[in-house]
């Protein structure tokens, strides 16, 4: 019997399909022993025929459990009831609670199945539209191979399944998306990269939904389109279980699926206000003098520098939690940090996971970690050894019960305000984990010698008393002081199904898949969690250093849910136009799909030499990344923004826009923290009925209202911009432009400008001008820009707090609404802004107003009308500490 758990059943004919070979010819399963308990359906699955055993023995009996967790979320699990198979630990990704009152009858999406052969579907309750269907594709469930396949609409609009450097809308022909963390120098297109997010959103004009596959094992996700099958999506996984969350999304608002995904993996952490400033770094700053000179030169060039970074160059023999006494002596480094803090600037240093294997050498970090027994173990019980920058290394075991106290202690000892380096944020790299040891790594010591690790210094150390900051225009600093789950017969080094890992063997240039954690789990299952677990430990260590303050922990490797605690840069890109363009899709994936919104690419490129043109364009695009950092490697030319006059001016112009918008951006981040509303939006998020927007990934919306459309071709001084059917306003002139769902060629875009537009219907809270630091920026007055929609209305919000506290003592939350010629600004003013609202600018005004009143009092002498750009400028000059109204008639 089939239970009435859905509105209809799949026909048996549709569920039976002849296949020539491979998984499609496997017998699949038969559903029996069906039970329901409240909002949960449980079904026994029994192998339906002769096993196909394509990559191992088919498991004969499985258990299906389907739970309607909320009205918009179905949780489906298929497990082996007789064997303890690996699942992503709750300690890494806590599961959301189910709402016990949810029933299938009230759910927006519903589950249905056929019993023999077993197949299931997820469909939208309001329309019966099938969103996910395994009909015709038998389930395969073996010890080291799982296969689940669904049909999709022809040439479906699929987004996510990262980390990757494809276009934002994924190809639907011959795509294999491999998830297996690796050190992916050059972030090559079409290969597995640093992190893993097995979530996809599918958009149709009838609605948007999501599918999250909670599994950290290596996998190939294949999307293909053929004449016989149409478009399909297929999971091929080398372990774990089938653990899927189906998200209903919405029929009208694509961002709703993002909020529903946030209910599963968590909303992003709030970051400190200062983190939105410009960051500068380089791998290859040779000594403390060069670091100080860069800080000085940014100041002299009048380019706002918020945070200085230093790569592994500062370390002694590339060992973490050490400092080179000749090139970066502690007293001089502390002088740099004191100088930065005295000028309201910040400092960040690199911390890698690999720890030099140094028995008997007096290396404190290694000795303390060994005493606490916190290192990852090889299969034989000895320390697992790799080869990284310090030479032969051990790796922290993030599952070890003592690892957090060890890691926190190292941070508190080395990054110490009284005696160490008082950093403001953390940068963690190489945490896939990366190892330079090539399989078979039978002798890591020999491989370290062959690779000359740690690399020798190639410059003469500076005079330890060399003066620094002598040419700075700033004041002197002195004035401002489970058990191991390894199934019988498994080959975890070379599994029978080989995923398309670009590095080759699973263990090549990383930890071995048979390495063992303290809780018995092996890297074969947990490899893809390494970066996120290091991120969590580092976040906690930074919290212990500065209790109550938000952390900034920028990582390279992430897994689903990482954004709850950490931030992300897109890895070791190249200084070329392809990586410049691809970075837009990269930040859209992280911020609008994966919930890691504080994200950016290395501005001007990391590897190879940039050019003045590329760096100028990238400085402007980078100003609209959430995380803006200029960073490059030690073999490339210097690329600090002040190196070229054109780039310096481009940076100043773009940073002025960024800083004026910073409170609007900060408010968008706060909303993302509250409910998962994305900070960045592809155009189709806001124009879901316009098919022309579905593949656009060279333009994006920052927050709900700022359209960014950079020049993306070398030597071009024009850009073709798609304007949906809506009104937009030029950010520079505030003049309106009517979009007609077509491309418009914008001419004369010089190397120091970037086309930015305000989407209609917005009230924007802007600072009147930029500043050299975010601290100084918060002393600038506000101005409100009203950009009316076709109905003559506009809305906005503003959130202000102290910018650093996890739980601020006071906050200011303001809503702005413009209707019928009246701007009403109202809210709570708990956090004192300390500034005024200087003016209000109303856009798209075709005649000078007859009457302007502030809180009922006339302001006729305080208005200016620009007939050319149709802008009304009203001077308000009102303390921003209470509600007010402005009437314009």
Active-site annotation holds for 432: yes
CB 66, CB 44: distance < 8 Å: no
CB 299, CB 472: distance < 8 Å: yes
**Closest by alpha carbon to 178, among 132, 234, 253?**
234
Q: Which of 397, 422, 572, 663 is catalytic?
A: 572
Residues 6+ apart with CB under 8 A from 452: none
Q: Which of 313, 422, 429, 663 is catalytic?
A: 429
CA dihedral 338, 623, 582, 639 (to 10 degrees): -50
d(CA 155, CA 224): 9
d(CA 231, CA 366): 52
- Where residue 488 falls (left for φ over 0; alpha for ψ -120 to 50; beta otherwise) is beta
| DSSP 8-state symbol, 514 | T
For tokens 């893809």, the residue is 528
CB 184, CB 194: distance < 8 Å: yes
Q: What is the DSSP string of 748-795?
A: ---TT---EEEETTEEEEEESS--SSHHHHTTSPEEEEEE--TTS-EE
- Terminal-to-terminal C-alpha distance of the chain: 70
d(CA 592, CA 594): 6
Structure tokens at 52: 């196909």
Q: Which of 69, 202, 256, 432 is catalytic?
A: 432
**CA angle at 510 for the pair 392 and 349, rounded to the nearest 5°:** 70
Residues 6+ apart with CB under 8 A from 63: 42, 43, 44, 45, 78, 79, 80, 81
d(CA 364, CA 321): 9
Q: Would you call 419 exposed, middle or buried from its count of C-beta atoms within 10 A (0-12, 13-18, 19+)?
A: exposed
**Closest by alpha carbon to 352, among 283, 428, 244?**
428
Bridge partners of 224, per DSSP, are: 232
Question: SS3 for 249?
Answer: strand
d(CA 517, CA 384): 10
d(CA 696, CA 529): 31
Report, as residue numbers or ranges, the catalytic residues. Answer: 429, 432, 572
């Amino acid at each position: 019997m089939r239970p009435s758990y859905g509105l209809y059943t799949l026909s048996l004919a549709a569920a039976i399909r002849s296949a020539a070979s491979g998984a499609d010819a496997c017998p699949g399963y038969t559903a029996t022993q069906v039970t329901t308990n409240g909002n949960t359906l449980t079904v026994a699955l029994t192998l339906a025929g002769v096993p196909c055993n394509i990559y191992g023995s088919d498991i004969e009996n499985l258990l299906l459990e389907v739970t309607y967790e909320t009205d918009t979320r179905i949780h489906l699990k298929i497990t082996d009831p007789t064997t303890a198979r690996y699942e992503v630990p709750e300690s890494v990704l806590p599961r959301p609670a189910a709402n016990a009152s949810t029933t299938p009858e009230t759910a927006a999406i519903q589950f249905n199945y056929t019993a023999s052969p077993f197949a299931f579907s997820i469909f939208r309750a309001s329309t019966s539209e099938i969103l996910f269907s395994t009909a015709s594709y038998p389930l395969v469930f073996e010890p080291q191979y799982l296969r689940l396949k669904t049909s999709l609409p022809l040439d479906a609009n699929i987004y996510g399944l990262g980390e990757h450097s494809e276009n934002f809308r994924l190809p639907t022909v011959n795509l294999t998306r491999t998830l297996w963390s690796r050190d992916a120098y050059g972030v090559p297109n079409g290969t597995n990269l640093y992190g893993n997010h097995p979530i996809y959103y599918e958009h149709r004009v009838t609605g948007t939904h999501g599918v999250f596959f909670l599994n950290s094992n290596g996998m190939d996700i294949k999307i293909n389109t053929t004449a016989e099958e149409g478009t399909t999506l297929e999971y091929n996984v080398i372990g774990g279980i089938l653990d899927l969350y189906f998200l209903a999304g919405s029929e009208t608002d694509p961002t709703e699926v993002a909020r529903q995904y946030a209910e599963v993996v968590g909303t992003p952490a709030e970051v400190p206000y200062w983190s939105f400033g410009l960051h500068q770094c380089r791998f290859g700053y040779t000594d403390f003098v060069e670091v100080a000179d860069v800080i000085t030169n940014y100041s002299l060039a009048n380019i706002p520098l918020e945070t200085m970074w230093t790569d592994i160059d500062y370390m002694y023999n590339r060992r973490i939690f050490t400092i080179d006494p000749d090139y970066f002596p502690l007293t001089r480094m502390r002088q740099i940090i004191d100088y930065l803090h005295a000028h309201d600037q910040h400092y960040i240093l690199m911390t890698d996971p690999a720890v030099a294997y140094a028995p008997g050498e007096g290396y404190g970090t290694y000795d303390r970690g060994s005493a606490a027994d916190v290192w990852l173990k090889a299969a034989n019980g000895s320390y697992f050894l790799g080869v990284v920058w310090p030479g032969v290394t051990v790796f922290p075991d993030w599952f070890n019960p003592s690892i957090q106290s060890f890691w926190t202690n190292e941070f508190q000892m080395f990054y110490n305000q009284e005696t160490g380096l008082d950093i403001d944020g953390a940068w963690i790299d190489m945490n896939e984990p990366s190892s330079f040891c090539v399989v078979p790594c039978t002798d890591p010591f020999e491989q370290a010698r062959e690779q000359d690790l740690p690399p020798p210094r190639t410059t003469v150390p500076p005079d330890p008393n060399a003066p620094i900051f002598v040419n700075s225009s700033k004041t002197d600093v002195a004035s401002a002081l489970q058990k191991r789950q390894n199934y019988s017969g498994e080959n975890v080094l070379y599994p029978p199904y080989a995923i398309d890992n670009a590095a080759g063997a699973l263990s090549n240039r990383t930890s071995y898949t048979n390495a063992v954690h303290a809780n018995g789990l092996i890297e074969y299952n947990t490899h893809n969690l390494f970066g996120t677990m290091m991120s969590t430990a580092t976040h906690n260590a930074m919290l212990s250093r500065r209790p109550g303050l938000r952390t900034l922990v920028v990582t390279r490797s992430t897994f689903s849910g990482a954004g709850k605690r950490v931030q992300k840069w897109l890895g070791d890109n190249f200084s070329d136009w392809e990586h410049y363009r691809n970075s837009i899709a990269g930040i859209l994936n992280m911020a609008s799909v994966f919930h890691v919104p504080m994200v950016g690419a290395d501005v001007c490129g990391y590897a190879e030499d940039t050019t003045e043109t590329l760096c100028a364009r990238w400085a402007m695009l980078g100003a609209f990344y959430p995380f803006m950092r200029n960073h490059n490697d030690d073999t490339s030319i210097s690329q600090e923004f002040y190196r070229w006059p054109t780039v310096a001016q481009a940076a100043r112009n773009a940073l002025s826009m960024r800083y004026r918008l910073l409170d609007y951006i900060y408010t968008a981040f706060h909303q993302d923290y509250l409910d998962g509303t994305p900070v960045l939006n592809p155009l189709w998020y806001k124009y879901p009925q316009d098919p022309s927007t579905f593949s656009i990934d060279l333009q994006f919306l920052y927050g709900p209202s700022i359209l960014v459309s950079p020049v993306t071709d070398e030597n071009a001084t024009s850009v073709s911009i798609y304007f949906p059917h809506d009104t937009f306003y030029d950010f520079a002139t505030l003049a309106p432009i009517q979009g007609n769902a077509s491309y418009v060629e914008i001419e004369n875009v010089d190397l120091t400008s970037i086309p930015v537009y305000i989407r209609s219907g917005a009230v924007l809270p802007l600072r009147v001008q930029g500043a050299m630091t975010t601290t100084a920026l918060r002393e600038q007055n506000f101005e409100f820009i009203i950009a009316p929609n076709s109905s003559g209305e506009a809305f906005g919000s503003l959130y202000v707090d102290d910018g650093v506290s996890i739980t601020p003592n006071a906050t200011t939350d303001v809503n702005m609404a413009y209707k019928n010629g009246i701007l009403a600004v109202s809210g709570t003013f708990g956090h004192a802004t300390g500034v005024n609202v200087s003016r209000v600018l109303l856009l798209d005004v075709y005649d000078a107003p007859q009457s302007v009143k502030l809180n009922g009092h006339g302001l006729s002498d305080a208005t200016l009308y620009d007939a050319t750009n149709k802008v009304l400028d009203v001077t308000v000059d009102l303390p921003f500490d209470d509600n007010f109204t402005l009437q314009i008639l």
